[in-house]
Every structure is written in C-alpha cells, then in structure tokens.
Amino acid sequence: MTALLSIRDLTVTYRRDGSEVAALNHVSLDVSAGERFAIIGESGSGKSTLALAVAGLLPASGRIDGRIDWFLPLSPFGAKAPPSVLPDISPARGEIVLSSLLSPITDVGENEPSTELPISPLAGEMSGRTEGGATERQPKFTPLGGRDIGFVFQDPSASLDPVMAVGEQIAEVAHTHLGLTWSQSYARAKALLERVRLPDPDAALRAYPHQLSGGQKQRVAIAAAIAAGPKLLIADEATSALDTIVQAEIVALIRQLVAEDGMTLLFVSHDIALAAELAERIAVFRHGELVELGATAQIVASPRHAYTRALLDAHLGLDAEPLLQQSGASR
Amino acid sequence: MSSPLLAVSGLTKRYRRGGKTIAAVDDVSFDIEPGETLALAGPSGSGKSTVARLLLRLIEPDAGRIEFEGGDFQALNGTALRARRARVQMVFQDPLAAFNPRASVARVLDDPLRIHGIAARSARPRRIAALLERVGLSADLAARAIHEISGGQRQRIAIARAIATNPSLIILDEAVSALDVSVRRQILQLLLDLQREQRIAYLFISHDLGVISAIAHRVVILDAGRVAESGNARAVIGTPQSAIGKALVAAAPRLNRTGTQGAADRQ
Amino acid sequence: MSPLRRFLCTPEAIAGAIILAALFAMALTAPLFFPGDPQAIAGPALLPPFQDWSLPLGTDRLGRDVLAALLHGARTSLAVGLAAAAAALAVGAVVGTLAGFAGGLVDEVLMRITDAFQTVPSFLLALAFVSVVGPSLGVVVAAIALGAWTGPARVARAEVLSIRERDFVAGARVIGMHPLEIAFREVLPNALPPVLALSSVIVAAAILTEAALSFLGLGDPNRVTWGGMIAEGRAVLRTAPFLSIIPGVALVLTVLGIYLAGEGVVETAAVRRSLS
C-alpha cells in the first residue's frame, strides 16, 4: 500500500504564560492510503494536536517543527486534487511538503486514472472542469482542509453554524471546493444527506442544527466533511459526546463511507475498544509521545508497551471482570 | 425486608414544547435499598438526568411520589428541605462545570460542612484535610483553585463534597463519562470502597453498560421516559429482554474483537 | 503576560490611561497648589490666559483664578462621576441578580420598576430629584445614580439567567445552600464582568450629567464644578470665550479618557477570556 502521508519528527509546542509546553514530541509515523488508522490516548496525550497538525488547523500560537509529507495520488479531476505539490509554510512553522508520486495534470481527462485510488461513486456527478492551467504552473500546493481533508469534530453543535440551514452548509463545501453551481451543490447535499442516512433528506436540507438530535447533527457534520470528496477523513473524538447506541451507528456509518469512497481514515479516540473495532492500525499516544504503533490485533492481543496494557486493562466492557466482585462489596 | 431507602412511584414530568406536551419521565417507579448501587441506563433523551433532577428536587414532578428514608421527600420545603439535602447528594458529569469557577478546593469542601453545621469553623480545615485524604488526594490540594487541578482530581473533590455531609444516597449523573479510562477505573474503585465502608447507596446514571456491569447491583433501563426493563444487573446485561436493552448491549464496544473481525461481523 | 502589561499594549488604552492619570493628578494635587478657597478673588476680573504667570489661565468675571477652579472642578467631577457610577452599578447588580435568580413574580415586579425608570429620560429624573430635594453633593450623586442603574440591572439579569442554569448552581442547591447565598455568593460574582464593562460609559455619562446639572445651577453651590464654570462664562461668551472653552475642553478630554481606558479594559478582559 502506498503512503498517503508521512510524519517525521513532528514537534508542536505551545507558549503558555511564558513557558513552552510540548503537545507533541518528535512524532514520526506513516499513514497508508486507504487504511483506517486510529490514534488513541488519554487527555493531554497530544492525539488531537496531531489530528489538527495533519489538517493544518493548529492555532497560530503553536510552533511546529519537523515535517509532514503528503503523497496525494492524483485524482482524475483537477478541481478535486490539484497536481504536484506543495507548500512549505514559513520556516518558523515547520515544513509541510507534498510530493506527487503520480502522473502530472496532463492525465486529467483520460479515463484511466493510474492511481490505485478507487474513484468515489459520486465522482461522476462532479463537473470535470479543471483548473489545470492555473495550477500547473504553480509548483506548490497545500492539502486544503475541506477539499482534500475532511474533519469531523467532537461537538457538532459547535462545528455547525447555528443560523444556517444544514443543506446550505453542506452545499457550500461542494460549491467552494468543487466549483459546482448552487443547484448542483444542493443536489449533492441532498445525496450526501441520504448517504449519511438522515431520515428525511428533503426536510433535513432546510433544517437548522438546533432542530436535529446530537446524532443527526454529527451525521450532518460528516456529510459536510466528505462533501468535497476528500482523500483523508479525520474524526477527532467524533463519537465521544454521543450515547453508546448512536456512537455505534456513527462508527458503522464512518466505516461504510470510508470503504465506499476509498478514503483514508484517521480516527482519534480515547476509547481503545472503539478504536479496535474500527481501525486496522492503532497508534497509542501518551504525554505527546508515540508509545506504540501496530496492527490492531497485535495491539489488543499482545501489547508491547506497559502503558498500552494498562489502557487495555482499564477498559470496562461487558466482557470485563466486574469491579463489584473484585472488591467484595455485596449486599 | 426493611423498607427501602428510596421508593419512587409513578414519577412523571412533562414538558411543553411548541404546543406539544412531551413526557420526559413517564410513570417511573423503582426502589433503592441501603448500601446498594442501582444503575439507571438508557440512550440520551431517555429521561435519566430528568429523574436525577426530580429526585434532588431541582425540578418538581407533575405526578408521582418520592419516599426517602421513610418520609415523603416532596412534602419538605424551605429550611426542612435544605437540612434533609445533607442525606442525598449528587456528583455531576462535568467536574469543571459542577463547581463555581472562582472557588478554591477548600471553599468547595467548606460549604457543606458550614451549611449543615457539621464542624465548627476552627475544626473545618482538619475536616477538609481528612475528606481529601479519604478520596485519595493530598491535603495540600485545599489551597488550590478548582480550575488548576486535573479532571480526575476534580471528580474526587466532587465525591469528597458529596460525602462531606454523610449522605445515605449519592446520585451520580454520568459521573465517570468525561474521565480518562484509567482515571475512570480508579474513581469507580473509590466509589465501591466508600460504599463498602459507609453503606452509601448509589443511583448510578450512565449510558455505558460496561461501566454499569462493573459496579451496579441492579439496573433500570429507561427508554423515552419509561422503564423498559429492570432487574439484576448481570442478568439484564447478560440476556436483555427489551429492544432498547438489546440495542445498548449490542452497541457497547468490546475489546476481544479486532478491526478486521469487527468488519467481518458487520458484513 | 500580566493583565496590566496586556492592557498597556493597546494604543487607546495608553492614551486613556495618560489622560486619566493627568486628571487624577489634577484632582489630587489641587489642595496642594491651591490650598485656599478656589472661589476667592485672586486678581483683576476677566484677565485673559497666559498674561500673568501667577494666574496662568486668567480670571473670571469676579477675578477668581480659572486654573484653581479647573483643578478643584476636577475633584468634583471625578468624585461625583465615580460615586454615582459605583452606586448605579451596585444597585443595578443587586436588582438584576435578584430578578434573574428569583424569577417569577419577583422578576416581574423588579423588571417593571426598571422599565419605569428607563422610560423617563435620566437627565429629567436627575433634574426633578435635585429640584425637589435640594442641591448638595450627595443628592447630585443619588440623582445621577437614579437614572443610571437600569442598564447594569438588565445586563446583570441576562447574565444571571444563563448562569443559574449551570451545574454549579444546582450543586449549591444540592448541598443545601440558602437561595440568597447562592444568588450573591455563587451567581453574582460570575455575572459581574459584563456589568463592570458598562462602568466606563456610566462614569462618563455621570460626569456629563453632573456638568449639565451644575450648568443649570443645580449643582452643589459650595463647590466649583466645570458645568458651573461654563455657565459662569456664558454671560461673557463674546468677550471672554476662554472662560467657557477651558472647562469645556477639560470635560471633553475627561470623557474621552474614561471611554478609551474603558475600551482598553474591555479588550484586555476579552483577550484573557479567549486565552483561558
């Protein structure tokens, strides 16, 4: 499998009250294209900082060292994933480099995308308009949040605009990043609401966030995140504010969408059991450091690091030993 | 069998929203015995937290009866109610929101001791130190501000405050949901230790059956404000009868499945 | 960074702070430089400014020292402005907290009273109050506060309405705290920041109201006030305009300084809130 992004020596420090706090400490890892990758850790582990760094969403107060290299496979649609490559943000903010492994923009229009990436079933709906002329001459390119990276936050009430109908919020993403007309964007928004299985997509288009339940809002947030057909979907504690039943539904939905669209998933969670159900590989973080990285089966069955073992032991599942008997408290 | 510590019968609370009346809690009845943990489970919106607020008289029910320690809890008012509150305490989900943002640890623990006349002013610092040690914290923490300490420490402070008045019942509303897993386990262990030593009964509200099966004796499952199912915690979680019980059990994350197996299960 | 240093980072805050510092210096040093009665006759009448360096700002119609009057006037303006604003904020915060926390009938009654005060123009209210009770410093302060407490009351009530739904208020009830203690010890301190943000506007308005009352001859007759000086100068506005202009400029600068410093404080507080 080809790598989608490669993180090398990533260090993120925040300045707080004069002292520097390292949220991430020399982290190096690779994420393969099309895999489901989980980042787990407790509060203060730096897992969300990593997700934000990958998405380029870190607040300006953070200092970034190290590099994140992107290997974006070229999509057959220029508007979707511009060619060649990318940006280094200013030296002070660290280096983010994108290398194109694949063919240049001239491939656009040929129906044989040489990429291994499955084309989204929805891709056909997109206008094949390319902006190649402009982008071709431009040697560098930043993976753009919203277009190349979809981000689902923990709290959908905070990430959705309370005074904008949800249809408009989703259509806006498609309009901005795919260059669709508004009516095309709305059609796409409706199709997306169907895909995230909102009960009445027509009514939902016109609904405002406060009229939806927490689970429904998170479905809308997911629809908006994938509206531009991103390569990478980042879910940062996207189910933590939901009850277990809704959480299971959302996890199943994410699994399905990722499979259908051939997206890479970065699933950030504090819950090792939940991550193990969804991800193929798990990275365990603690105090800003990568503690252990491995295939899910290996992490769960034979963790190498004591901290991973402690996390597994601390999990209280239906299959876990009840504490009640252990402590001998009985009536 | 002696009379239960808490007997709730026919508890109902309706809300009016946009001309429609919705029953947030609909004819809910259950008992809690002294020293027992009863879990109240259910998805969000099932009325769990409304039950907690009704039991604490933070809101008033439309119908139903609450008997606490053999007396009609709803007949109490004013000074009598405030005095009675010493016996039934609460721990909230978000330990940061549960305290005055300007308070110090010492003040938070001082309040119940002062209000219920449990210790004279001069004896209170010693009492506060003892409470902190009781919940596994250092007595030095008293001088710190609430916003300076960690989430797990805050939840221990919340428990210390709850046991300060020597209650017979503590209502825990998603009290461990916001905590890291390792901290969560320690807090649950602390609750069990306190229960064993002081015979405190818990009404443990949670949507997480994993946590419930670890510490509850009995469970009541709510759905849309009504009791869907109740009984011995192990039995109910082992073989749920109601649709919502089955859904909750199915949704609980399990560790013995791996990512690939999980995918296979669903396909 | 300390709040003070952050406060001094904004240019408007620096300007405001400088003006206010000068004003306070004037007010505090007035008895040192001009220990006698500022209303005593000091020289020839209607001496223009910058003629005689013992009377740098000249004299008024009766030969009183304008600089001495200006400095002593600063004392009155500041004293009345600060006292009236403090009274208005205190009354407003208490009324707003009670209304918001108690709700129901108490809220209804208190807010209707607030409405009643708010519908009457506050200057008319002050005018009527002073006319009936008689002019003295305390009465002027009360009269100004009477028209200024409604704003803080509304802001405090709105803030309390949202705070009383928070868990820590429920927590205070659960441990059996008395409702009045919850209102004033748990809720009110947390509702104060937006109320205090009004203080600069209220102080500035109070100083202007005091000047207007004095201008109309309803100020404390035993004290020099800027409003009174302007009124004095009005009779000779054509021949000696400086008698009105000097206290007028002092008034404008004072209000501007208070406003700028207030903006700086609000901004500092906002930065601190967004940081935390």
Domain count of the fold of chain B = 1
> What's the pLDDT score for residue A121?
36
pTM for the predicted model, two decimal places: 0.82
> What's the pLDDT score for residue B226?
94
Residue B125 lies in a domain: no
Least confident range from A68-72, A246-250, C271-275: namely: C271-275
The per-residue DSSP string of chain B comes to -PPPSEEEEEEEEEEEETTEEEEEEEEEEEEE-TT-EEEEE--TTSSHHHHHHHHTTSS--SEEEEEETTEEGGG--HHHHHHHGGGEEEE-S-TTTTS-TT-BHHHHHHHHHHHTT-S-GGGHHHHHHHHHHHTT--GGGGGSBGGGS-HHHHHHHHHHHHHTT--SEEEEESTTTTS-HHHHHHHHHHHHHHHHHH--EEEEEES-HHHHHHH-SEEEEEETTEEEEEEEHHHHHHS--SHHHHHHHHHS--SSS-HHHHHHHH-
Size of chain A, expressed as the number of residues it contains: 331
pLDDT at A63 over 90: no
User: Is B196 in Cβ contact with A329 (below 8 Å)?
Assistant: yes
pLDDT band, residue A85 (cuts 50/70/90): very low
Residue percentage of chain A with pLDDT more than 70: 73
User: Is C171 in Cβ contact with B92 (below 8 Å)?
Assistant: yes
- Which is it for strands B226-232 and B71-72: parallel, antiparallel or unpaired? unpaired
User: Is C190 in Cβ contact with B101 (below 8 Å)?
Assistant: yes
B48–C contact, CB cutoff 8 A? no
Output the CA torsion sign for B206, B208, B213, B219: positive
- In tens, the pLDDT along B152-191 reads 899 999 999 999 999 999 999 999 988 888 888 889 999 9
Domain with B58, as residue range(s), is: 6-93+167-252
Residue B81 lies in a domain: yes
CATH code at B225? 3.40.50.300
Would you kindly state where each structural domain of chain C is located, as residue ranges? Answer: 3-41+57-238+246-275
ipTM of this complex: 0.88
> What's the pLDDT score for residue A313?
87
CATH assignment, C3-41+57-238+246-275 = 1.10.3720.10
Q: Say how many CB pairs under 8 Å bridge A and B.
A: 141
Which chains are adjacent to chain B, needing at least 3 Cβ pairs under 8 Å? A, C
Of C171, C173, C177, the CB nearest to B99: C171
Residues paired with A329 in a beta bridge: none
pLDDT at A95 over 70: no
Residues B66, B72: Cα–Cα separation, whole Å: 6
> What's the pLDDT score for residue C271?
64
The token duo for A263 is: 């997206």
Residues of A in contact with B213 (CB under 8 A): 316, 318, 320, 322
Mean pLDDT, range B34-58, rounded to an integer: 94
pLDDT tens for chain C, 276 residues: list them. 566 777 777 788 889 999 999 999 989 988 888 888 888 888 888 888 888 888 888 888 888 899 999 999 999 999 999 999 999 999 999 999 999 999 999 999 999 999 999 999 999 999 999 999 988 999 999 999 999 999 999 999 999 999 999 999 999 999 999 999 999 999 999 999 899 889 999 999 999 999 999 999 998 888 899 999 999 899 899 999 999 999 999 999 999 999 998 888 877 777 665 554
Nearest CA in chain B to C179: B78
Residue percentage of chain B with pLDDT more than 90: 78
> What's the pLDDT score for residue C3?
66
Size of chain B, expressed as the number of residues it contains: 267
